[in-house]
Copies of this chain bind each other. A is one copy, B any other.
């Protein structure tokens, strides 16, 4: 199919190409447009039906959107924007350079411009910034017949009106009703008599991560957004929540790997930006790790007299870091998904103590067997390493399990308390345990 369309385009047979294209899914058409010559794309784009070209436009990459918008007339551009949902307009404008944004806003009508500016002004990652305004707002005094007429008038074939919200004369949100229920009800029934009043609303300034958790909790496809006075101002649909969930998980992952978070795709981020996101934490951790080095300096003479001790430093450090990362990862994720609360800290500590006991015993026994029987190391050295291993695992898991919760209690982001920072902390303590045990057992 795709080859056929590309062939038609190559031959300049746009009539046949158009015929084939309009039977495709919009997302796939947008994908196809990324692959063809830009001039040919422009011709095709112009001969598509208006509705379809707007839908395809929404799914194009922002590079291609910019090319198209800069190549067409103001009238054409406005006609595209008029067919888009407001949230798609916002997504588009956020990626455009300011001259394009200005040109677009200059040409839209005053009401739309006001709404766009308002949404653009909501804090990043707030519910308001991802909402859309194409919803059906019914008055509670309407009859079913009036309601259906109103819905038909505002444009019925939109998924966003499968759920209708009911407001009073001050636009205060009072209920919700499905289009299905309206259609099945008697024409003269009043909307207020059949609406569901147990409607759960989101505030414009709620964080998008909390919004995502509400969607997960209540299994809704769409939720209403209200302002501080509980007036209905927009809706959020579940397809935007899919993106939010991915974005939040990506941000957490980046923080957990000691980077400043960024929403941009890897290949689309410049080398400088990537470096800038990575350097600060590497510098901080590098300097912190030098304190770990200082511990070695303090025990320099002990180390010099039993130089074999140095051999086990990498293994002890790595195991400490890995043990701590395991615990902190589980706790950070549990906090992010709302499965753990800060009040669970004692439960977590008790659990980590038990688990680390089991893990510590098995690792230190395995380690003793390996270095004493296979490595043929002196028994006291083997005992020193194994005791350190046991204590380190316990300590690492307790630190790894508790720091994310403490961070959350202090209103810091728990994701910072992940592998890299935990490793730096427990490495230092592991070395102190190691050399203390060594000086005591080996008498150095």
Chain A residues with CB under 8 Å of chain B are 23-25, 27, 152, 156-157, 159, 161-162, 178-181, 183-184, 197-198, 200, 212, 215-221, 238-239, 241-243, 245-246, 249-250, 253-254, 256-259, 265-267, 271-272, 274-275, 278-279, 281-283, 285-287, 289-290, 292-294, 296-297, 300, 303-304, 307-308, 310-315, 317-319, 321-323, 325-326, 328-331, 333-334, 337, 339-340, 344, 347-348, 351, 354-355, 358-359, 362-363, 366-367, 370-371, 419-420, 423-424, 427, 431
Contacts and interface: CB of A to CB of B under 8 A. Distances in A.
Contacts of A323: 278, 282
26 contacts: A156-B184, A179-B180, A238-B239, A253-B253, A254-B330, A257-B328, A257-B329, A257-B419, A265-B334, A266-B339, A266-B351, A267-B339, A267-B347, A279-B358, A279-B363, A282-B359, A285-B319, A286-B319, A290-B315, A290-B371, A293-B313, A294-B311, A296-B310, A310-B310, A314-B427, A317-B318
Given A157-B184, A215-B242, A285-B318, A259 B326 contact: yes
Copies per complex? Answer: 2
Contact of A311 (B197, B253, B293, B359): B293
B250 A333 contact: yes
B198 A180 contact: no
Contacts of A367: 286
Main DSSP-derived SS at the A contact region: helix
B370 A287 contact: yes
Given A25-B198, A245-B249, A257-B322, 4 more contacts: A267-B339, A278-B326, A279-B362, A300-B311
A96 to B, nearest CB: 21
A259 B159 CA distance: 41
Given A221-B239, A271-B355, A329 B254 contact: yes
A104 to B, nearest CB: 23
Contacts of A267: 334, 339-340, 344, 347-348, 351
A296 B24 CA distance: 62
A278 to B, nearest CB: 5
B321 A275 contact: no
Task: Name which of A25, A274, A292, A344 has the most chain B CB atoms within 10 A of its CB.
Answer: A274
A220 B278 CA distance: 36
A198 B265 contact: no
Contact of A246 (B24, B279, B337, B424): B337
Contacts of A265: 334, 339
Contacts of A221: 159, 221, 238-239
B218 A242 contact: no
A395 to B, nearest CB: 15
A161 B179 CA distance: 12
A354 to B, nearest CB: 4
